[in-house]
C-alpha cells in the first residue's frame, strides 16, 4: 500500500446562502472528482426542482430532503486529495436549525474556511456565531472565502470593504487577522476555486485549492493519553460488538487493555482490543484523527453507547462530578442565570447539565475580569461558570487534554452557548 498523504479535516462554515456547498461542489468538479455526466444529472435534477444553479451544491447535499429544500441538513463528508494532502471535507450546515451538526462537525476539524457572500453589506449574525464557535471549539487555522464576486461585478472596493469588516470582527473574537487569508471567489462560475480567475487581476494571492495546500498540518496529539469518544456501537455477525469512533488523542493498538466510561452502569467496562479496522482494512494501530471500528473482547452490546469514551485502563477518561468552564453566550432568548439546565454537547455525548454558579464575567476582547458573581449573562457575554451534570459525563481539562474539553450548550433547537472546561472535580 502506498504511503498515505498527511491528512487534514477541513470544514466549510458560513451563512446558509453564502455558497459553501456550491464552493465544495465546484472544487470537486474542476478537480475531476465529479464527472461531466454526474454533473449533468445533478443539473437536470436541480432544474426539475426549480433550483437551477444549485447543481454543485447537490454534490454535498446528497439527502433528498436537502435537495428539495436547498439547505444543508446533515454533515456531508467527502474525501479529497491534492498533490500534498488528503482532506476530509466537511460541509457544515449554515442553517440555524442544523447548527447542532455544525458543532459536531467543527469540533472534528483542524482548519476551516468561512464562506461569506460579497453581496452582504452587513455581516450576517450567523457569520459572527460561526467565528465564535470555530474559535471556542479549537479550530487552529481559519481562512475566509468571499464568494459571489460575480454578483458585485468583481469589484475590488466591495471586497476590501467586506474584508475590513471581517478583520474587525476577527480581532474581537480573538483570531490573529494577519494569519487569516481572504480569497475572492465566484464559486458557481469557478473563479479562484480550482482555476485562477481572469476577472480579478487585482487579486494575486492563492486560489482556494492553493490555500488548502498551504494549510499547516496539525500536530497529532499522540503523546497524550488515549481518548476515543464512541459514535456508535454495532453488533456484527461473526465478529461481535464493534464500537465506532474517532481517536482524539493517544494511540490504540491491538492487544491494548482498555476501559469505556461511564458505561451503562456508570462504573466503566474493561476489555481487550482484538482488532481495529479503518476504511474497511485491518490495521494494527490507530492514531489521532483516525475514524475506526474496533472489536473488543469483554464488551457487550448493551454495556456501552454513544457518548462513552474509551481510554487505556492505566489512564482512564475522567468522569466528572462537576466542572468549571469558560463559556460564551451566543444566542439565549432572554438571560442565563444560575440553576439553568440545558443540554451540553460534549464530544459525542449529550447530557443535561445545571449551571450551578456564575463565578465571574470576563471582557470578551481581553479576558480581564469585568464582574465577580454576576446575576445573569446575556448574549455576547463571556464568563467562568460552575456546571453539574445530571448524569455521568466524561470531559477533560483544557490544560490536560484540550481535544476533550470543548462543548456546546443547546436549548430549544438552538445553540445557546459554547465553552471549554478549565477545571474539574472527579466523580
Burial class (CB in 10 A: 0-12, 13-18, 19+), 385: buried
Record the cell numbers describing residue 378, joined without a space.
Answer: 446575556
Residue with more model confidence, 330 or 290:
290
Residue with more model confidence, 16 or 166:
166
7-214 CATH: 3.40.50.300
Q: What's 319-426's CATH class? A: mainly beta
Record the cell numbers describing residue 66, joined without a space.
Answer: 436537502
| Cα angle for residues 309, 133, 290 (degrees, 5° grid) | 40
* Residue 423: strand pairing partners: 324
Smallest Cα–Cα separation from 21: which of 187, 162, 154, 146?
187
What average pLDDT does range 375-396 have in this prediction? 93
What is residue 68's three-state secondary structure?
helix
Whether 228-312 shares its CATH topology with 319-426 is answered yes
What is residue 349's three-state secondary structure?
strand
Record the cell numbers describing residue 240, joined without a space.
Answer: 461481535
Record the cell numbers describing residue 53, joined without a space.
Answer: 444553479
User: pLDDT by residue (tens digit) across 282-301?
Assistant: 999 999 888 899 999 999 88
228-312 CATH: 2.40.30.10
Per-domain boundaries in the chain: 7-214, 228-312, 319-426
Record the cell numbers describing residue 24, joined without a space.
Answer: 465544495
**Using CA atoms, how far apart are residues 386 and 234, in angstroms rounded to an integer?**
36
Highest mean pLDDT of the ranges 23-37, 68-82, 129-143, 152-166: 152-166
Record the cell numbers describing residue 64, joined without a space.
Answer: 433528498
What pTM, to 2 d.p., does this model score? Answer: 0.65
Say what percent of the chain tops pLDDT 70: 84
Amino acid at each position: 500500500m502506498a504511503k498515505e498523504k498527511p491528512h487534514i479535516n477541513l470544514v466549510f462554515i458560513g451563512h446558509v446562502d453564502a455558497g459553501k456547498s456550491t464552493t465544495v461542489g465546484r472544487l470537486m468538479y474542476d478537480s475531476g472528482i465529479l464527472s461531466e455526466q454526474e454533473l449533468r444529472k445533478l443539473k437536470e435534477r436541480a432544474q426539475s426542482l426549480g433550483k437551477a444553479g444549485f447543481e454543485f451544491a447537490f454534490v454535498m447535499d446528497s439527502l433528498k430532503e436537502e435537495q428539495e429544500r436547498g439547505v444543508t441538513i446533515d454533515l456531508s463528508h467527502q474525501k479529497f486529495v491534492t498533490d500534498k494532502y488528503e482532506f476530509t471535507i466537511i460541509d457544515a450546515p449554515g442553517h440555524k436549525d442544523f447548527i447542532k451538526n455544525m458543532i459536531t462537525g467543527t469540533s472534528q476539524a483542524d482548519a476551516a474556511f468561512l464562506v461569506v457572500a460579497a453581496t452582504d453589506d452587513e455581516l450576517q449574525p450567523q457569520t459572527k456565531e460561526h467565528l465564535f464557535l470555530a474559535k471556542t471549539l479549537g479550530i487552529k487555522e481559519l481562512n475566509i472565502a468571499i464568494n459571489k464576486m460575480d454578483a458585485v461585478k468583481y469589484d475590488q472596493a466591495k471586497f476590501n470593504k467586506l474584508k475590513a469588516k471581517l478583520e474587525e470582527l476577527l480581532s474581537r473574537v480573538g483570531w490573529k487577522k494577519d494569519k487569516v487569508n481572504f480569497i475572492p471567489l465566484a464559486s458557481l462560475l469557478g473563479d479562484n476555486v480550482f482555476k485562477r480567475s481572469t476577472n480579478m487581476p487585482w487579486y494575486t494571492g492563492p486560489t482556494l485549492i492553493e490555500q488548502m495546500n498551504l494549510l499547516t498540518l496539525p500536530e497529532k496529539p499522540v503523546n497524550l493519553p488515549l481518548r476515543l469518544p464512541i459514535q456508535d456501537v454495532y453488533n456484527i455477525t461473526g465478529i461481535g460488538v464493534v464500537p465506532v469512533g474517532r481517536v482524539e488523542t493517544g494511540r490504540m493498538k491491538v492487544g491494548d487493555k482498555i476501559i469505556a466510561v461511564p458505561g451503562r452502569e456508570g462504573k466503566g467496562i474493561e476489555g481487550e482490543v482484538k482488532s481495529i479496522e479503518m476504511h474497511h482494512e485491518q490495521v494494527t494501530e490507530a492514531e489521532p484523527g483516525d475514524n475506526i471500528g474496533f472489536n473488543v473482547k469483554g464488551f457487550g452490546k448493551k454495556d456501552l453507547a454513544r457518548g462513552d469514551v474509551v481510554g487505556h485502563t492505566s489512564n482512564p477518561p475522567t468522569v466528572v462530578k462537576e466542572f468549571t468552564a469558560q463559556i460564551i453566550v451566543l444566542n439565549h432568548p432572554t438571560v442565563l442565570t444560575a440553576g439553568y439546565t440545558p443540554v451540553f454537547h460534549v464530544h459525542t455525548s449529550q447530557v443535561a447539565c445545571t449551571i450551578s454558579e456564575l463565578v465571574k464575567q470576563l471582557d470578551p476582547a481581553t479576558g480581564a475580569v469585568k464582574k465577580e458573581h454576576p446575576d445573569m449573562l446575556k448574549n455576547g457575554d463571556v464568563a467562568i461558570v460552575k456546571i453539574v451534570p445530571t448524569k455521568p459525563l466524561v470531559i477533560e481539562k483544557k490544560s490536560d487534554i484540550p481535544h476533550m474539553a470543548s462543548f456546546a450548550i443547546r436549548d430549544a433547537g438552538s445553540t445557546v452557548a459554547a465553552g471549554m472546561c478549565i477545571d474539574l472535580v472527579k466523580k
